[in-house]
Chains A and B, each alone.
Chain A
Amino acid sequence: MHQEVILAMLAKEPSHGYQLRARLREALGPLGEALNAGHVYVTLTRLEKAGLLAADDTDRSDRSDRSDRKVYALTPAGQQRVAEWIAEVSWPKPDLAQFHLKLITAAAAGLSDPLAILDAQRRELLRRLREAQRAAMAEPAHSDAALLLEGIVLRLQADLRWLEACEKNWTLRRNRS
């Protein structure tokens, strides 16, 4: 989980840690279930140490957990960091080269049949697709989580299509030799 996400969530208003967690779960839907509670607090502490946010534990209500009593707010440095993050255009890079080279090296060294590798990989991706799809269908339409899940489904489809192209290519190579 990117630290910047937590920072950006505080840009609206200062919040308790548990409030941040709830908002995250809402936005991520079933994906957020994997998010463990400690992760958010660890991040918050780390950000506090870095001076990007300030904690105020003056609100002494009936909470017993120390960290839950704190209200976090952005420092000016934190605000600047959020602005930078929003303006960024970086994008996660799918690491296709690794798989591509796996096929080539496996074939060259006779370690394994590339087609078998492809079949196994496809199986794995299909399993993921199935999972993502089921999750997507369980979500109410047009929810934030459904949108995210659709993105996952589409990317998996793209990957599967690439595997198809690989398969065609490797079948051809095998037939030629």
Chain B
Amino acid sequence: MNDTTDDIADESTDDAAGTPVLRVRGLRKQYGAGEGMVRAVDGVDLDIGAAETVAVMGPSGCGKSTLLHLLGGLERPSGGQVWLQGRRIDGIGEKALARMRRTDIGFVFQSFHLMEELTAVENVELPALLAGRSPRAARERAAQLLEQVGLAERAHFLPSALSGGQRQRVALARALSNEPPLVLADEPTGNLDSAATVEVLRLFESLHRRGQTLLIVTHDARIAATADRLISMRDGAFVDETRLGGGSTGRLGALVGLED
């Protein structure tokens, strides 16, 4: 089983050399001016290939959320360039930005951000409705996604009736509603306990296996460990990058002292 996933990961690395889903050059974002100026993101370069999962880790306040917001079009950069599937997205108009958020990007938030008055399936179908899909098509797709995240029987529950892990799975299903080429997740397990984290973890793994491109910001080493690449961020810049993918050592036993 290890082998199969690794194969996919290896393929994706090859793909990345071709047309990256996301390409970032010299991205900067600063808040304020003069003395109080904060360089939240300070010259970031990044390429993410198709079907690649990239994790970003770093201490609190290093600019991870800001980076994701810039990439997701929730915030305007102060400088630098961003290409999404070969198209420049920095400096495009609000309307084009909205269209991009709608169809090219799925966002998952730490605090879920589900609409409380909408049921799970209504939450999931919302992006499709916003994108102008027919109500029936949107509903079908939402039901199918909930099935995928294992919540088919909870489709008509309100978020308040779901556990944290289930809510985050609904949020993930919502992010996938318009089949975006890139999913951005900002500390998706930040509000979850260990068991709920595993629920979400499994989901990310299966997404990864299905070839979804993912960029995850996290404090949780378990989430980071699912990534193909791990990027360490400090003071708004990338300081280290590790390729975690690659064949299994086949020496699991060594982990528990079964081997010497």
Contacts and interface: CB of A to CB of B under 8 A. Distances in A.
Assess A/B contact in the complex (Cβ within 8 A): yes
Interface of A: 1, 28, 30-35, 92, 119, 122-123, 125-135, 137-138, 148, 152-153, 156-157, 160-161, 168, 171
B252 A30 contact: yes
Interface in B198-256: 201-202, 205, 221-222, 224-226, 230, 232, 234, 240, 242, 244, 248-256
Given A31-B255, A135-B252, 9 more contacts: A32-B253, A33-B252, A33-B253, A35-B258, A119-B242, A126-B221, A126-B244, A131-B252, A134-B205
Contacts of A153: 222
B111 interface: no
Nearest to A161: B221
Nearest to B242: A123
> Which A-B residue pairs are the 5 nearest by beta carbons?
A34-B253, A130-B225, A129-B225, A160-B221, A123-B242
A96 to B, nearest CB: 16
Interface string B35-61: 000000000000000000000000100
A131 B221 CA distance: 13
A130 B226 contact: yes
B251 A34 contact: yes
Given A119-B232, A126-B242, A137-B202, A157 B222 contact: yes
Contact of B256 (A31, A157, A160): A31
Contact of A138 (B2, B250, B255): B2
B249 A129 contact: no
A33 B226 CA distance: 23
Given A156-B221, A160-B221, A128 B255 contact: yes
A37 B226 CA distance: 32
- Main DSSP-derived SS at the A contact region: helix
Most chain B beta-carbon contacts within 10 A, residue among A127, A130, A138, A171? A130
Nearest to A126: B225
16 contacts: A31-B252, A33-B252, A34-B253, A119-B232, A119-B242, A123-B242, A127-B244, A131-B2, A132-B255, A133-B222, A134-B2, A134-B5, A135-B2, A135-B252, A138-B1, A156-B255
A22 B242 CA distance: 38
Interface residues of B, number: 30
Contacts of A133: 201, 222, 225-226
B259 interface: yes
B157 to A, nearest CB: 23
B257 interface: yes
Given A138-B2, A157-B222, A131 B240 contact: no
A172 to B, nearest CB: 11
A131 B226 contact: no
Contacts of A138: 1-2
Contacts of A130: 225-226, 244
A130 B248 CA distance: 9
A114 B259 CA distance: 29
Nearest to A168: B59
